[in-house]
């Protein structure tokens, strides 16, 4: 999550949705307000000591965290935006990320079909990196009653175009997004799935698919 006091925006960062590129483009706008110096000092002290003192929101916080922690009138006037991604494509991206960054988590289940079936197995023991990768994207967008409380939902599939719309709204210069963590080593997500594994994703992410308007095709 990225908050700019000066430009009155809150970016809700869902993992594997192009958010690292968006965050890189907008990170300079965190500063330039009267709390910048104490915020910077507190953040560095937090990193150095390992004692998290809450000087900023964690990278992948849900919007409800900001709603609960910020003053109500201040939260309401922020322009809150997020980027989402087709759930089937997101799971392919997550598979490659875990395989590359945390191969031990896979426990030898390093082909996509085997891994995905294990991932969605209700009897599987909890594993942080696995369970966080199957959180619903819509959980990041809603309040405690399930109401969507962000102002703009951009899509990974139209990342630059939707990001330009955000910049226009905020009256910021149009920025060409850097290609952070862009994958060049894989097929389209359709090629990874069987009918069975595609249905696993469809069932688990039904709310995302319904609200965000995605389909397998």
Cα 1 from chain centre: 9
Pairing of strands 9-12, 79-84: parallel
d(CA 215, CA 194): 15
**Dihedral, CA of residue 186, residue 189, residue 191 and residue 194, to nearest 10:** 140
Residue 217 in any domain: the answer is: no
Residue 35 in any domain: the answer is: yes
Query: Domain containing 44: what range?
Result: 2-212
The DSSP 8-state label assigned to residue 125 in this structure reads: P
Could you give the count of Cα atoms lying within 13 Å of 190 in the half-sphere of its Cβ? 3
Residue 161 in any domain: the answer is: yes
Asked if 82 and 63 touch (Cβ cutoff 8 Å), the reply is yes
Residue 142 in any domain: the answer is: yes
Q: In CATH, what number is assigned to the domain containing residue 180? A: 3.40.50
Q: Any residues with CB less than 8 A from the CB of 87 and at least 6 apart, and which? A: 137, 201, 204, 205, 208, 209, 214
pLDDT of 72 strictly over 70? yes
> Minimum mean pLDDT among 28-32, 67-71, 125-129: which range?
28-32
Residue 110 in any domain: the answer is: yes
- Condensed to tens digits (0 to 9), the pLDDT of residues 88-127 reads 999 999 999 999 998 888 878 889 999 999 999 999 999 9
Domain count, the chain: 1
pTM value is 0.86
Residue 20 in any domain: the answer is: yes
């Amino acid at each position: 999550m990225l908050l700019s006091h000066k430009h009155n925006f809150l970016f809700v960062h869902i993992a594997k949705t192009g958010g690292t590129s968006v965050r890189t483009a907008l990170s300079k706008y965190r500063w330039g307000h009267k709390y910048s110096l104490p915020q910077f000092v507190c953040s560095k002290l937090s990193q150095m000591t390992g004692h998290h003192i809450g000087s900023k929101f964690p990278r992948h916080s849900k919007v409800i965290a900001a709603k609960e922690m910020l003053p109500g009138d201040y939260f309401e006037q922020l322009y809150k935006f997020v980027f989402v991604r087709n759930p089937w494509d997101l799971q392919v991206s997550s598979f490659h990320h875990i395989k590359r960054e945390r191969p031990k988590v896979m426990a030898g289940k390093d082909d996509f079909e085997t891994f995905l079936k294990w991932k969605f197995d209700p009897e599987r023991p909890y594993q942080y990196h696995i369970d966080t990768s199957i959180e619903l994207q819509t959980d990041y967008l809603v309040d405690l009653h399930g109401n969507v409380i962000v102002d703009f939902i951009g899509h990974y599939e139209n990342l630059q175009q939707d990001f330009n719309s955000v910049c226009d709204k905020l009256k910021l210069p149009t920025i060409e997004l850097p290609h952070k963590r862009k994958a060049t080593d894989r097929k389209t997500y359709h090629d990874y799935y069987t009918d069975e594994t595609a249905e696993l994703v469809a069932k688990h992410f039904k709310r995302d698919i319904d609200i965000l308007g995605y389909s397998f095709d």
